[in-house]
Amino acid sequence: MKNQPVIFLVGLVMLAVGLFWLTSMVQVTIGWGAGLRIGGATIPSGITLVPLIVGILWVFFNPKAVGAKILLLIGVVVLIASILMTVRFQMPRVSMFEFIMVFIGIAGGAGLVSRVLFVKCTKSEEEKRNQ
C-alpha cells in the first residue's frame, strides 16, 4: 500500500478533529446535591461523607489501625462513586450536518488509522522493505 504515513496522518487528523468537535459540543453537569442512587434507594449526599469523616478522625486518633485505613479508603471510594454517578452529559441542539460531519470525522479517521495499523503486508512489499 502506497503512502501509508500520509494516510495515517490524515486519519489521525480526522479522528482528532472529530473527537474535538464532539467534546466541544457536549456539556457536562454535576448535580451532587441530590445524593447517591443505589438501586431504588437514594442516599443523601451528606451521608456519603460519614465514612470518610469517621475514617479521617480514626486515622488521626490511631494512625496504625488497619481498620481506620480501610474505612478511609471506603469513604474515598464512596465519595468518588457518588460524584461520578451524578455526572450528566448533555448535547445541545445541533444541525444534522454538524452531527454527520462529527461522526464522519471520527469513523473515517478511525477507519484510515486502523487500515494502516492492521493491514497485512504482501510478500512483495516485505521484500521491498527488507532491501
CA distance 101 to 20: 12
* pLDDT beyond 70 at 131: no
Average pLDDT over residues 89-115: 91
Does residue 106 have a pLDDT over 90? Answer: yes
Confidence of residue 80 (pLDDT cuts 50, 70, 90): confident
pLDDT digits (tens, 9 = 90+) for 68-79: 999 999 999 988
Confidence at residue 20, expressed as pLDDT on a 0 to 100 scale: 94
Choice between 120 and 78, residue whose per-residue pLDDT is larger: 78
Q: Checking DSSP bridges between strand 87-90 and strand 27-30, what pairing results, if any?
A: antiparallel
Average pLDDT over residues 93-100: 91
pTM beyond cutoff 0.95: no
Q: Which residues contact residue 54 at a Cβ distance below 8 angstroms, ignoring those fewer than 6 apart?
A: 71, 75
